[in-house]
Amino acid sequence: MGAIFASVVAILLVVAPASQATSPSPTPSPSSTSSNFSISGFLRNAGAPLPDVKISVSGEGFEGSTTSNANGSWNIGVPKSGTYQVELDESTLPEGVALAEGQENPRQLAFGQTSNQTTIFAFGAGIVVQQGNFAQDLTNRLVAGLSFGLLLALAAVGLSLIFGTTGLTNFAHGEMVTLGAVLVFAFNAMGLPFWLTLILALVGGGLVGYVQDAGLWRPLRRRGTGLVPMMIVSIGLALAARYVILFYFGGATEQLPGAQSAEIQLGPISVSPNNLWSLIICAVVIVTVGLVLMKTRLGKATRAVADNPALAAASGIDVDGVIRIVWIVGGVLASLGGILWAYYRPGVSFNMGSQILLLIFAGVTLGGLGTVFGALIGSIVVGIFTELTTVFGAPADLKYVIPLGVMILVLLIRPQGILGRRERVG
């Protein structure tokens, strides 16, 4: 049980591999320290506390160490807020006890708004295989992967639409993802009701999409700037936007309201309500986008522009208008994807979008550049691959590597992607 406890807390506090534990996390009992800031945690192996284990903390010009007490808890006071390195001395562990697989030691710990930081070292055979029930593990990971894949798809569909209509490979799309989550956090901090923050964040995303197109990309298209220079401009924009967000938001990871929730049991599957909501929202939104694309005049016009802008313009379609709408929709979708990503990780940070940018690219490339349904399928494949790799024994800190590797392999065998057409590739 202790290993499960430990792993739950590990997920919430450290960026650690996901698990399917079902218990709420206990908080370690605070012990008295003289300084205002402290780092604490508790050490338990299979329910039994681990006393007399040495933990050392260094950073911000401070160095100190402590040993865990009889009930396994430890606490070190530090002089100020900042980033510290916490190291567990593995040689002081009792015989037969080892850190679980994928547990970072030493690890970096950054203070956010609070004066106490908790970090949990999980012990035992490893978080990934703790339940030993392979089939259940597999289904749970499949659901999580589907949820992750669909939220990637939200961003990927926008990216793919933009690529299809303008030819731009937009490296700044990750920052549009970050923006959604950051806006929700900012509006929430201003005390607005939660539903309003969501609407404002989505509107903000759409607005940024519109402003980007009107202020930057349309003038560049007018100048006849080539696709490669535009791609490099988008890299500059991504860099600038990322540091603007860092400038105002800071380097800490913050939580959105309701980010932590106990998992619920749905038949054989255990899933967190957040993931379930994310799944439903993504499915509804993507089906809507698909229906609009296939059934409405606007959708037809969009597909026409994607196919051949010159011909579309000649047949009376307002190409610039379509592209403007595509940018707005892309911004809204990226924003929504960002909010859901903040709940999936969980946490909001300035680089959360650039973390998944390559996975979004992988989804788009896998499906075939410029095809919307390809982006959907590619993203789901990427999401499921990402989550399933840990089930099949790959180290949790390599879970983003495998989909990227798969993308390179697919390009080797089928360069046009799953749904792409052969002539699109030069």
Partner 1 sequence: MDFASILSNAFGELISPTTAAYALAALGLAVHFGYSGLLNFGQAGFMAVGAYGFAISTLTFKAPFFLALLIAVVAAAVFALILGIPTLRLRADYLAIVTIAAAEIVRYLVTTNGWTAVTGSANGLAAFEGGFFAMNPFPPGTYPMGMNNRDVFIRVVGWSLVIVAGLLVWLLMRSPWGRVLKGIREDENAVRSLGKNVYAYKMQALIIGGVLGALAGMIFTLPRGAIQPANYGTELTFFLWTCLLLGGMATVLGPVIGAMIFWVVLSLTQGILSGLIESGIITWLSTVQAGQLRFILVGVALMLLMIFRPQGVFGNKKELAFA
Binding site for partner 1 (CB under 8 A): 101-104, 106, 108, 169, 220, 225-229, 231-233, 235-244, 246-247, 354, 358, 361-362, 365, 369, 395, 397-398, 400-401, 404-405, 407-409, 411-412, 415, 425-426
Cβ 63 to partner 1, closest distance in Å? 16
Residue placing its CB nearer to partner 1 in the complex, 73 or 354: 354
At residue 266, the 3 state secondary structure works out as strand
Residue placing its CB nearer to partner 1 in the complex, 73 or 170: 170
The contacts of residue 322 (CB under 8 Å, 6+ apart) are 165, 298, 301, 302, 305, 312
Residue placing its CB nearer to partner 1 in the complex, 238 or 323: 238
Cβ 66 to partner 1, closest distance in Å? 22
Identify any residues that bridge with 76 across adjacent strands, giving them in sequence order: 39
Rounded to whole angstroms, the Cα distance separating 416 from 410 reads 9
Rounded to whole angstroms, the Cα distance separating 303 from 164 reads 8
Cβ 29 to partner 1, closest distance in Å? 30
Residue placing its CB nearer to partner 1 in the complex, 148 or 361: 361
Rounded to whole angstroms, the Cα distance separating 55 from 35 reads 18
Q: Which amino acid is at 401?
A: V
Rounded to whole angstroms, the Cα distance separating 77 from 275 reads 36
Q: Which amino acid is at 207?
A: L
Residue pair 374/420 in contact (Cβ under 8 Å)? The answer is yes
Cβ 40 to partner 1, closest distance in Å? 22
Rounded to whole angstroms, the Cα distance separating 167 from 163 reads 4
Residue placing its CB nearer to partner 1 in the complex, 51 or 106: 106
Cβ 361 to partner 1, closest distance in Å? 5
Residue placing its CB nearer to partner 1 in the complex, 30 or 226: 226
Token pair belonging to 288: 């809507």
Residue placing its CB nearer to partner 1 in the complex, 77 or 309: 309
Residue placing its CB nearer to partner 1 in the complex, 142 or 246: 246
What does the chain come to in residues?
Answer: 426
Residue placing its CB nearer to partner 1 in the complex, 317 or 356: 356
Residue pair 58/100 in contact (Cβ under 8 Å)? The answer is no
Cβ 117 to partner 1, closest distance in Å? 18
Instruction: Judge residue 348's burial from the number of C-beta atoms within 10 Å of its C-beta, 0-12 exposed, 13-18 middle, 19 or more buried.
Output: buried
Pairing of strands 37-42, 116-118: parallel
Rounded to whole angstroms, the Cα distance separating 293 from 328 reads 15
Cβ 415 to partner 1, closest distance in Å? 5
Identify any residues that bridge with 77 across adjacent strands, giving them in sequence order: 38
> In 167-217, which ranges are continuous DSSP H helix?
173-189, 194-212
Rounded to whole angstroms, the Cα distance separating 270 from 268 reads 7
Cβ 3 to partner 1, closest distance in Å? 18
Cβ 97 to partner 1, closest distance in Å? 18
